[in-house]
Structure 1
C-alpha cells in the first residue's frame, strides 16, 4: 500500500507541474454486446482535472486490463459545454456508458427523464454505505435511491489568499475575517494600498459560486439550506442584504471577469494582482504548479462569514439507461469507488476521498484542512456545482447572476431569483 501511495503521490506531483473540480483483477464484460470497452463522458479535458482522470484510468487499467477505456471528454469550465453535448446525446438515445455529473440535486432532471439507472443495489453489493460517511450518503440520495458514485469531495467555500499582497497592505493573512463586513473593510484597505482588483473573479459559474458564498455567509447554514426546499423565501430581506453585499464585492473585482475561466482568475492572485480568490479546492493544483508552499506564499480560509460550514460538492459517475456496455460501466464505477481509485484520483486533483478508509497521510497541507472540516463542520450543498438545485433551476439562477453582472439592478435580480424558485418548487 505504501508503494502505491508513493507512486500515486509522484503522479500527482507530475500532474500539478503539467496542470499550470474495490475492484477485481478483471471484470466479466460479456454482457456488453461483445465489446470489452467503456465510454466515459467527462469535462476533464485539460490541466489538473485531466491529470486526475488519467490517474483514475491508470488504476482502472490495472483492475480491468481487458476493458478498453474510451475517453469522451468535452472541454469547458464546470461542465457547461459538456452538459449541452450530453443532453443532445441522451435525447438522441445515444448515451455514453457512464458520464460525470455533480452528485446531488443536479441529477434530478436526469432521473425525472428516466435517463439514469438506480445504483442502490450497487452500493449494497460493494458495501459502500459502510465506507462512505452518512452525511455523504444523505447528499447522494434522491427519493430514497442513489444514482451516482462519487470519486471525491470538493469544498466550494474556500478563499485563497496571497499572503505577500495582504502583508504589504498591513493585513494579517493568517486568519480570515469573521464577517463579510470585516472582509469588505480589508478589501478596501487593499484597494487603498494600490491593489486595483483585490478580489479575483472569473466567468459566470464562478460568479454564481461567489454569490452562493455570500448567501451562506448572510443567511447561515439553516437559512441557506432553506432556499432549496422553500422554507427560506427568496424575497426575504436577508436575501436582499446578500445581494447588496454581493454587489459590493463585485466592486472590488477585476473588470474583465466575465471573459475569464477559473484558472485565469486564480492566476491573477498568483501574479500578485489580487489578494483573494473564492474558488473550489481544485485551485490547489495551480498553487502547487507555481511552486508555492501552503502557509507561506498562500493560505486559505473558509469564506468570511461561513466558518463552521463545508459547502459540499462531489464529482460522480452514473450508469445511464441504455448504456451499450453495461458491465464494463459497472467495472468503471467499481474502480471509481475503490480505495486505490479514490487515493490516486484525489492525490492528483486536490480534493479529498469520499471513502473514509483511504490512507490520507500522503495528502497535502490544504487537503488536511478539508478532511478536518468535512468531518466536523455543518455540510451544505453547493449551488454552482449541482448539489443544491436541479439543472433547470441552476440555469435560471445562472442567467440572473449573469444579468446582474451587467446591470447591477438589485430589485430585478431578486425578482428573477423569486421567479426561478417559484418555477422550480411549483
Structure 2
C-alpha cells in the first residue's frame, strides 16, 4: 500500500509549519490549503456528474480545503468496499467515504472506524428535513453515523409498453395475483420469459418486494429487528408467491447482472423487470423511451429506499475538512445539484426539484408522502454479512427451488446477525 495517508498528512503538516516560517502564504491569496480525501466508487456516468457537482459546491463553500478524489471504480462498489476495508484495517483511512446508509455501516461502527455525527445532524438541519423513518433506520446505538446524499427507490417495476400492448395488457396490476395473471398472458402471446431477472442480489430485491406485499411495511421492517418471524406463515406464503414469479423469469438469470437483464426488456424479450430507479437514466442513455413504471403490486405507498451516504472516519487526517464536505452533501443546494445529475432524488424533503426529470419529480413526491422501507439487498436493512447470506440463500433457491430450505436459511441468517439498533 505504500506510506499510509495519515503519515503523509503528518509529514505535510510539518512541512507546512516549516514553509510558513519562510513564506507568508502557500497560495496566491495567502490561504493554506488542506486536502480532503473523499473515497467513492463514482467513476462514470450520472454518478460522476453528480460527484462533480458536489465538488464544485465544496470548493465554493470550504475555502482552504482541496478535494482529493479517492475513487475506486466498479459496479455497486464491490471493489471499493474491499479496498476500503483493507485501508481501514491498515490504519490508512480516507477522511470520508461513501457507504450505503443504514445497517451496512454496522461493522464499521462496532470497530470504532467512524465518528458520531449526531450533533452535526442538528446543525445541518437534517433532523427536520429527513423523513422520520429514515432517521430511525440511520440511528444505531442512539447515534447517527452517515449523511445521506440521495435516495433511490428499489421496489419499481419497469415495463416494455409495446410488449404489454401486443398481449392486451392495459393496466398495472394491483396485487401479486394480478401480476401473475399478466405474466401468464404474455407467455401465452409468445414471450417465453416475461419477467427479466438477474443474479442473487437482484433476486433478493424481488423477494423483498413480495415480502412487503405480504407483510406490509411494518411487518417487513420487523424481519430485521426480530419483531417479525422469518419462519412464520406469512413468510411461507410470500416465498410461494416468489416461486411462482420465478416460473416466468429467464432461466439464465444466475449468470446476468441487472443491465443484461434490462437488455431483455429493451429488446422485447420480456415485458417486466423489477429494479431500482437508476434504470431510468440507463434507459434514457440507450434511447429507449417505450417504458412505463409502477410500484411493485401490493406494495401500496411503501417506498423501499437505498441511500448513498458519507461517513466521517474516526482516524481522518483532516476531520474539519471532511465535516465541511459532509455539510456540503447535507445542504439543500448540494442535494439538488447532486441528485439532478445522478438521477436519484434528494434525501431532504425540503429540496426544490428544479431541473429534475418527470420521473424524479414524481419519485420525490412519493418520498415525501410514502412510507420509507429499508432494503437488505442494498444494505439499509441488514449488515454486509447478513446481506451475503441472504444473497446465497436466494441464489441456491433459484436452482434447487426448495422453499423450506430458503425459509430456513433466511431464518438462520436472522438468528445469527440480528441486533437491536
Q: TM-score range by the shorter chain?
A: 0.7 to 0.9
1:160 CA displacement: 1.0
Of 280, 305, 318, 1:325 maps to 318
Which whole-Å deviations, capped at 9, do the CAs of 1:254-298 have from their partners, x for residues lacking one?
2332232222322321222211111111111012223455xxx21
1:364 CA displacement: 1.3
Q: 1:259 to 1:76 in 2, by over 3 A?
A: farther
Q: State the TM-score, normalized to the length of structure 1.
A: 0.86
* Pairing 1:258–2:254 present: yes
* Pairing 1:80–2:94 present: no
Q: 1:260 to 1:275 in 2, by over 3 A?
A: same
- Partner Cα separation in structure 1 for residue 132 and residue 410 of structure 2: 31
Of 234, 252, 271, 2:230 maps to 234
For the 8 Å contact 1:191–1:198, the answer to whether it is kept is yes
1:215 CA displacement: 1.1
- Partner Cα separation in structure 2 for residue 186 and residue 70 of structure 1: 51
Alignment partner, residue 332 of structure 2: 339
Matched residues, number: 393
Which whole-Å deviations, capped at 9, do the CAs of 1:113-134 have from their partners, x for residues lacking one?
1111001122223233233333
For the 8 Å contact 2:134–2:372, the answer to whether it is kept is no
For the 8 Å contact 1:155–1:311, the answer to whether it is kept is yes
- Partner Cα separation in structure 2 for residue 358 and residue 110 of structure 1: 30
- SS class of match (1:324): coil
For the 8 Å contact 1:177–1:183, the answer to whether it is kept is yes
Residues 187-226 of structure 1 mapped to structure 2, 5 A cutoff:
187-226=183-222
- SS class of match (1:70): strand
Alignment partner, residue 383 of structure 2: 390
- SS class of match (2:165): helix
- Partner Cα separation in structure 2 for residue 170 and residue 65 of structure 1: 60
Alignment partner, residue 368 of structure 1: 361
Q: 1:245 to 1:105 in 2, by over 3 A?
A: same
Q: State the TM-score, normalized to the length of structure 2.
A: 0.87
- SS class of match (1:318): strand
Of 152, 167, 170, 1:169 maps to 167
1:65 CA displacement: 5.9
Which whole-Å deviations, capped at 9, do the CAs of 1:273-330 have from their partners, x for residues lacking one?
211111111111012223455xxx2111000111221112211000011012222211
Residues 143-158 of structure 1 mapped to structure 2, 5 A cutoff:
143-158=141-156
- Partner Cα separation in structure 1 for residue 363 and residue 371 of structure 2: 13
Alignment partner, residue 92 of structure 1: 90
Alignment partner, residue 315 of structure 1: 308
Of 110, 113, 133, 1:112 maps to 110
Structure 2, unpaired ranges of 5+: 1-8, 17-32
- SS class of match (1:161): strand
* Pairing 1:275–2:268 present: no
